C-alpha cells in the first residue's frame, strides 16, 4: 500500500496498468506530519475495509475528513 500526498504518482501508477494493492491519497498535500497522522486516525476510526486493489482519497476539510473509496468489483 502506498500513502501519498502527490496525485500525479497515483495517476502514473494507474496509467502504467501495473498491479497495486492500495493507494491512500491524503489531501491537501504539503501538510504537517501531525495533520497527516490525524487524518489517518480518522480514516481508521471509520472502520473501512477496502478490497484490493483500491484507491482511497481522504480530504481534510474544516468540518472533518471526507473519504472517497474506489475499488474494482
- What is the rounded CA–CA span in Å between residue 56 and residue 12? 16
> Domain containing 41: what range?
2-71
Q: Please report the pLDDT score of residue 67 as a whole number.
A: 94
Query: Taking the model in full, what pTM does it have?
Result: 0.79
Mean pLDDT of 58-65: 89
Which pLDDT does position 1 carry in this prediction? Answer: 74
What is the number of domains present in the chain? 1
Chain center to CA of 22? 8
pLDDT at 28: 77
> pLDDT-based confidence at 30, cuts 50/70/90?
low
CA distance 19 to 16: 9
| Radius of gyration (C-alpha) of the chain in whole angstroms | 12
CA distance 42 to 30: 18
Amino acid at each position: 500500500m502506498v500513502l501519498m500526498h502527490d496525485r500525479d504518482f497515483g495517476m502514473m501508477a494507474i496509467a502504467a496498468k501495473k498491479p497495486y494493492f492500495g493507494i491512500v491519497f491524503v489531501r491537501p498535500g504539503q501538510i504537517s506530519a501531525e495533520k497527516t497522522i490525524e487524518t489517518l486516525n480518522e480514516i481508521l476510526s471509520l472502520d473501512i475495509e477496502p478490497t484490493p486493489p483500491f484507491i482511497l482519497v481522504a480530504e481534510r476539510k474544516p468540518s472533518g475528513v471526507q473519504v472517497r473509496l474506489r475499488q474494482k468489483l
